[in-house]
Amino acid sequence: TPYGYTGQPLPATSPGYHQYDSGLPQGHLDRRPSYDDYPTQGPQHQNSAYARAPRAAGYEEEEPPVPLSANESSHPPAHTIPPRHPHLEYAPVDSEGGDVRWRDPDLHEVIEFLGHPNNVVRANAAAYLTHLIYSDDNMKQKTRSLGGIPPIIDLLSQDVPEIQRNACAALRNLSYGRQNDENKRAIRNADGIPALVKLLKKTQDSEIKELVTGILWNLSSCEDLKRPIIDDALTVLVNHVIIPHSGYDRTKNPLDPVKPHDLYWSTVFRNASGVL
């Protein structure tokens, strides 16, 4: 496999699932610069049990590049993405109790893992799904046809930041590209827009804010979703993103002269502006 993983698979205690082992070394998802010239790198949580989906930059999808072979580059990427995760592997054993043969879960199984009661499994399932659907419109459409969008949206209401981040990353990839307008409509039909707005309103996590506004920007490219987005998201976008990030001070007397100031175009501000 072209990807590396730092941990060893755990023996399966039941078909399809692994018990959470906090001491297991974990991999994570890295990101590559795409929309921004100088993306900001966030903490990678290398010792966390949660796999991380790529950080957001609006109206795009991202995935870490595949590490090159030795004859392609003498400077391989500093981080790699695990194609599998020990909390998301099946371990079938032959009839004579022989060697365990590990395999990656298929898309249908990954979608089932999104509803698993273990928070670690759910977070890692969302991260792995983000990887599976990257730049693959067929997988994105298959995710929708298998009913994968509603359980992802359900994860937005979980009070676990890693689950929220990875669910948002999956939704961002699912909603990327004009050829995926049916996915955008499916997100809307599963009450995804109100769920995203609610998360944007309550979260203090800057990365989640970037992800949510990036998804809304993606959705807004679908003409028949512009009005629902304005109806559901306008007030929150203005009050929680546009005004705070514009430098406007509500406490100042409106009659006082306005002094020129620099406008900091943060990613979340850019995304919100793209929606509007």
Q: DSSP letters of 169-201?
A: HHHHHHT-SGGGHHHHHHHHHTTHHHHHHHHHH
Contacts of 272 (CB under 8 A, 6+ apart): 213, 216, 217, 237, 241, 242, 245
Residue range 188-211, pLDDT digits in tens: 999 999 999 999 999 999 999 999
Residue 143 has pLDDT above 50, yes or no: yes
Q: Which fold has domain 107-250+259-275?
A: Leucine-rich Repeat Variant (1.25.10)
Q: How confident is the model at residue 122 (pLDDT cuts 50, 70, 90)?
A: very high
**14: β partners:** 17
Integer distance in angstroms from the first to the last C-alpha of the chain?
Answer: 43
Residue range 17-47, pLDDT digits in tens: 333 333 333 333 333 322 223 333 344 444 4
Mean pLDDT (the chain, rounded): 71
- What are the sequence ranges of the domains in the chain? 107-250+259-275
How would you write 35-93 as a 3-class SS string? CCCCCCCCCCCCCCCCCCCCCCCCCCCCCCCCCCCCCCCCCCCCCCCCCCCHHHCECCE
